Structure 1
């Protein structure tokens, strides 16, 4: 069997209506598969004005806006219309990418037709509750996720560190790595543009500490703010630049009144903005890979990150940046202070990170998913033949 023989039904809770790292990876995967001659049909909620143009054919799944986070939609059901479309498409493998109700119904639909199911795991959903004073729910959510993932033939995770977490949580025992790549045409140290930086109100000196990502509390905005407060109390010269938008922007601006918020940046503009930082501070523990970390490394920046899934597989401590115990404000501040005051160390660790980023090629990475589809189809066929 070849990649061109694949017919993939891909289920996503957010394929393109809000931009994030997970759906950027899914769209790149679909583009690669289509380029290899495979057939792909995407099933996802849609909106009138999505964040970006979807790659491939998208079938709308009934959904409703999530209370308190209306920019996101919750898939409702695998409707009769969607089921008819699925039957007509006749996939030979099903891929789910979010643990919602429609994904669970899609798994059941596939099982009834003896089709293999792959689940890609993009986010540590169970950790989100820590940021909303609901840590008590974490074990319940973990059990809820386990019931779904154990029904899948295999999982793919974006990093080995996260795959190990999934094994320890007994989510599944067939877990491949679907890493992430970086577009070197967009993200590289040559994109640095001090004139653009000055136009944003950011001076050439002192050092610029950057935040990159969607502005939501689960990205560690509180930890970022607390560490910057400590740095100011120590009278360490620095500037802060924030790239991104989100519902917590007002809160973040009130906590960082001296920071420059440059808003959402995309494509070449994003590469330029990242390269105009001097280091990235990424305190999030919810990432399963850390696209923003890789993008910063590709731009030649050292990274101070939480020692958590994702970052652990990218940042080499004391070589390309620092890995700090999650929530350890003093240690985060210590690391930031060292980078702010030691230009040689910044340059050395930044160069090492840029070299490390060269290992991440999108085509090779996406082929591993295609190979996993093929393996699961063959295994399912072999079991069926054995049963006969």
Structure 2
């Protein structure tokens, strides 16, 4: 135990390993009410750590709607186990409602020198996450990280495919400085390991099967979409952005609409492609961002979930759709590949087989009895993936990193040089 740690930590060391409490600095650049899979998953893990008795210091950018007075809520031992530290943030280009942190190494070194955590967990690889990695190295603190977003895969959707290699090099350099990098699927672990990433461990994602439930189906909501009881409603949930492969969704939808003119397409989410989608499919219902029970009702009030994305690290919406009792057509990739048994609780298509995706969507749209069979199994599948078991696996990884030998003195992560 380091002499820099407060003496009261010695009391914790006498507890059995199963009940030992950690002081975790949890660094993220996205947090609810921002609507994205990373923010919602991070919130679940933070909540789970609190429920398990760990003290969490949440370090994140100040959101646009929050007060401008900086708060560093370190209130002493009598405080609640979640202490928020709000840092400077900037809007993300093309996503003005989202914020990213700014380089803050000096502030984090000062913060963690005053109240030393047992472990730093970095959830996102942005400027704030990089600063946290540097600050932890300076203070010889163990670090774990999440690989949550396929930035390297996004590059081809924005006309900068040449950035794929340097972005991957930076991500590898970032994560290889950590005691462990947590990934949501075994397939992603193998992919990253082949690319030179080290210290990888699989910690999946859970689903709130109480919130996302077929019982949330709403006849009134369907009526607002213009859908009668027997009309097919196709839904897709996620950002309206190029990396979600929505062009394929619209192609499949066009075929469904020709066969079933009364069918409805509902897109839940927002993003830079909203105007283009409205122009290409003016009949589509663009529901915008939805949260909580409202989001659950949008899932459950549909009849078929189409998910054409090939850039997910996991894809929480897949698990949410399953829990809502929706038959799914998706590529054999990320959460879909991990959760769905094709033909039993959904339909999986080989990655990149656009024609196969369209064909599967048309066939399932036309077969009501088959959709009903898949829907029943989809719900059963989701019930096997609760958050409690996922948080336990996450906690075990943090415990192992906190107990490992100290990081090698002197190393400090740096941005990789990119030839111009």
Indicate whether the TM-score tops 0.5. yes
In 1, are the aligned partners of 2:35 and 2:289 still within 8 Å (CA)?
Answer: no
In 2, are the aligned partners of 1:118 and 1:152 still within 8 Å (CA)?
Answer: yes
- Range 257-266 or range 293-302, more displaced: 257-266
Question: Aligned pair 1:126/2:139, yes or no?
Answer: no
> Whole-Å Cα distance in 1 between the matches of residues 97 and 142 of structure 2?
32
Q: Out of 387, 404, 407, which is 1:362 matched to?
A: 387
Q: Out of 50, 55, 58, which is 1:42 matched to?
A: 58
Cross-structure match for 1:302: 327
Question: Aligned pair 1:16/2:32, yes or no?
Answer: yes
Aligned residue runs from structure 1 range 61-80, under 5 A: 61-80=87-106
Q: Out of 131, 134, 140, which is 1:108 matched to?
A: 134
> Whole-Å Cα distance in 1 between the matches of residues 189 and 407 of structure 2?
26
SS at match of 2:334: coil
Question: Aligned pair 1:348/2:344, yes or no?
Answer: no
Mark the structure with the bigger radius of gyration: 2
Cross-structure match for 1:31: 47
> Whole-Å Cα distance in 2 between the matches of residues 3 and 29 of structure 1?
17
In 2, are the aligned partners of 1:161 and 1:309 still within 8 Å (CA)?
Answer: yes
- Range 235-244 or range 94-103, more displaced: 235-244
Question: Aligned pair 1:190/2:215, yes or no?
Answer: yes
Q: Out of 289, 292, 308, which is 2:314 matched to?
A: 289
Per the TM alignment, residue 153 of structure 1 is displaced from its structure 2 partner at its CA by: 0.8
Q: Out of 143, 153, 163, which is 2:169 matched to?
A: 143
- Range 358-367 or range 227-236, more displaced: 227-236
> Whole-Å Cα distance in 1 between the matches of residues 235 and 212 of structure 2?
15
Instruction: Flag the 1:383–1:96 CA change in 2: closer, same or farther, 3 A.
Output: closer
Per the TM alignment, residue 383 of structure 1 is displaced from its structure 2 partner at its CA by: 9.7
> Whole-Å Cα distance in 2 between the matches of residues 178 and 12 of structure 1?
17
Cross-structure match for 2:122: 96
Instruction: Flag the 1:76–1:136 CA change in 2: closer, same or farther, 3 A.
Output: same
> Whole-Å Cα distance in 2 between the matches of residues 299 and 245 of structure 1?
21
> Whole-Å Cα distance in 1 between the matches of residues 254 and 19 of structure 2?
52
What is the TM-score normalised by the length of structure 2? Answer: 0.84
> Whole-Å Cα distance in 2 between the matches of residues 187 and 93 of structure 1?
33
Q: Out of 328, 331, 336, which is 1:311 matched to?
A: 336
SS at match of 1:310: helix
What is the TM-score normalised by the length of structure 1? Answer: 0.91
SS at match of 1:70: strand
Instruction: Flag the 1:335–1:259 CA change in 2: closer, same or farther, 3 A.
Output: same
SS at match of 2:404: helix
CA deviation map 1:72-109 (0-9, x unaligned): 33322125334322222210111111112332232232
- Range 194-203 or range 366-375, more displaced: 194-203
In 2, are the aligned partners of 1:216 and 1:248 still within 8 Å (CA)?
Answer: yes
In 2, are the aligned partners of 1:146 and 1:171 still within 8 Å (CA)?
Answer: yes
Per the TM alignment, residue 194 of structure 1 is displaced from its structure 2 partner at its CA by: 2.0
Task: Calculate the aligned-residue CA RMSD, in Å.
Answer: 2.3
Return 5+ residue gaps in structure 1 as ranges: none
In 1, are the aligned partners of 2:209 and 2:386 still within 8 Å (CA)?
Answer: no
The alignment covers a number of residue pairs equal to 379
Instruction: Flag the 1:344–1:112 CA change in 2: closer, same or farther, 3 A.
Output: same
CA deviation map 1:126-163 (0-9, x unaligned): 11112112222212211111111111111111122222
> Whole-Å Cα distance in 1 between the matches of residues 343 and 366 of structure 2?
16
Per the TM alignment, residue 382 of structure 1 is displaced from its structure 2 partner at its CA by: 11
Per the TM alignment, residue 3 of structure 1 is displaced from its structure 2 partner at its CA by: 5.3
SS at match of 1:380: coil
SS at match of 2:192: helix
In 2, are the aligned partners of 1:3 and 1:371 still within 8 Å (CA)?
Answer: no
SS at match of 2:166: helix
Question: Aligned pair 1:206/2:231, yes or no?
Answer: yes
Per the TM alignment, residue 14 of structure 1 is displaced from its structure 2 partner at its CA by: 1.4
Per the TM alignment, residue 49 of structure 1 is displaced from its structure 2 partner at its CA by: 1.4
